[in-house]
Chains A and B, each alone.
Chain A
Amino acid sequence: MRKTIAFIGLAVILSFGPGLRAQTAADEALFREAKLLVFDKDWRAALDKIGELGDKYPSSPLVGQALFYKGECLNGLGGREREALRAYKDYLKSAEARANLVEEAEGRIIDLSFDLYDGGDAAALREVEARLEHKNMVVRYYAAYKLSLAKDKKTAAKAAPVLVRIVETEKDPELLDRARIALLRVSPESLKDVEDRTPVRIGSPRMLRIRIREGGRKEPVFSLNIPFALADLALSALDEDDKAALRKKGYDIKKIMGDLTRSKGSILKITGDDGSVIEIWID
């Protein structure tokens, strides 16, 4: 009897095996084609392929994975942000969701929610705010950065505690600079507090100051006080006319930084041909 059951079982497996292998190969091929179309930003064709995958192989594990790419297609097509948002959320709920794409899907949800908020749907920003306390640090940081760009200053200020945490703990210079700029936007006083708390080498400057005055005027037309860590970026971001005036006087960013660092805090005063004065100094 046992022999008979074993034989029947083997026969069943052998009979399904080639079919299963064939289906696996076919759904994989279809999924690969869809991904290639996504790569080429052929959103509509890619969406059709993903639909075909779901129709032909509804039980394939790749259908769950394809939800992420469905979100990509809907997002890329434009005007279908809410559908895209749903696709990414469905992906996160799917048992087939992969760790590397989960982070990506969270990022897309933040972006799409922010776009909807920008388009007038104030409630959409709740998705971003909710992610300020996400267990994944990357998601948390990105939500804070994105929230700092909100038009409503009170809402944007909610990002400050996470941004402060980035400045306090992060080592990555790119992330640090982003967090500093975001804090300058939403809560400059929080940035000042955290910069003052951060230990620096004795004698190292903490702040860069720039004032630009037009000829004969006492009040500056441009004022800037920022952490010295952003000095290089700040000088690069000066108005093109001011940069041209500096170049004319033989100054480039490297020279300015060199002069400021060497002189240990003295003021650099550059007078333009039109009488305007650019003052740069460090504290």
Chain B
Amino acid sequence: MTKCAMSETRREDLLAGDPEGRRKAMAEHLDKCPECRAETEAVERLLQETEAVRAEIRAAAASVDWETLPGLIADRARAASRKPERAPSRPWGWLLPLGMKPALAGLIAGLVVGAAAMYFVLRAPGSRPDRDLGFYASGEFLDRAELEMARRNTLDYLEKSQYVLLDVFGSARAGSVTPAALRSGQTRDLLARKKYLNGQLERFQMSKAKAICDQIEMLFRELSEISEEMSAAEFERIRGFVEERQLLLKINLVRKELEREI
């Protein structure tokens, strides 16, 4: 409550006058009256603060998308209405007493976060980029895998063929009736495997390997046909044939080439 001597009526008269005269009379009064001066200053401060708040409100209002806002509010209202109504639970209620001890609460929160991080790190030594469970490989990759397989299988075929041939010739020298390699059906197995190699060797243009494998195939076919009643003379004939065409040497050369490529 002001203690100024200017009455309410006097003030109303003052405010009702012309603006210029009013401003002048008011300024004269404020020079003389410290109470009214203090009151005027307080009102000015209030007006300044109000102006600052208005500026903030204008900035906030400018950031709102007024067109989508109604839809957003409606969506949230619908989502809220779908949630079952439940009494608010307090899973962390046991921590409430710690609210009075912020340092202790911080320490416990740190331990919980650290333990969770340790669990995830130790559970999977490295994080997996994805978890899809099906098999898949591109056609291009499968072609490369088949080329690799062709090299390995050809190498294996040549190695085994060498053993069979050496066994056949060793048996012929020792005068055995039928070599073990022929008795055990190894030549037949090799013939069956050669079928798969044919296509691969052609597809991957491994012509040298194909040529030698074809010759071995022919030889084994011959051996498998006559093995039942093979005489020492027949062994000698085949051995002479293999030596003449240096088949074992050729096998070794192609093997070396394939080994270098693998």
Contact = CB atoms under 8 A, between A and B. Distances in A.
| Interface size grouping (class) on chain B | 35 or more
B156 A174 contact: yes
Closest 5 CB pairs of A and B: A267-B126, A266-B125, A237-B144, A237-B145, A188-B135
Contact of A107 (B145, B148, B195): B195
Interface of A: 35-36, 38-39, 41, 98, 100-101, 103-104, 107, 111, 114, 138, 142, 145-146, 149, 174, 177-178, 181, 184-185, 188-189, 191-192, 195, 207, 211, 220, 222-227, 230, 233-234, 236-239, 263, 265-269, 279, 281
Interface string B191-221: 1110110110000000000010011001101
B125 A263 contact: yes
Contacts of A100: 188, 191, 221, 224-225
B136 A223 contact: yes
Contact of A184 (B125, B132, B142, B195): B142
B137 interface: yes
A211 B127 CA distance: 13
A225 B132 contact: yes
Contact of B218 (A38, A177, A181, A195): A38
Most buried by A among B124, B145, B148, B225: B145
B191 A39 contact: no
Nearest to A188: B135
Given A101-B221, A237-B141, A174 B193 contact: yes
A177 B225 contact: no
B46 interface: no
Contacts of B152: 233
B128 interface: yes
Contacts of A192: 133-135
B147 interface: yes
Interface of B: 124-130, 132-139, 141-142, 144-149, 152-153, 156, 188, 191-193, 195-196, 198-199, 211, 214-215, 218-219, 221-222, 224-225, 241, 262
A185 B139 contact: yes
Nearest to A267: B126
Nearest to A211: B129
B196 A145 contact: yes
6 contacts: A174-B193, A192-B135, A223-B136, A227-B135, A266-B126, A267-B126
Nearest to B140: A239
Given A107-B195, A227-B135, A178 B149 contact: yes
Contacts of B198: 111
A239 B193 CA distance: 27
B141 A236 contact: no
A174 B153 contact: yes
Contacts of A36: 241
Nearest to A207: B135
Contacts of A268: 126
Contacts of A234: 137, 141, 145
Contacts of A38: 218
Given A211-B129, A225-B134, A234-B145, A39 B215 contact: yes
A202 B127 CA distance: 23
A107 to B, nearest CB: 4
A227 B30 CA distance: 95
Given A100-B188, A174-B193, A185-B139, A236 B156 contact: no
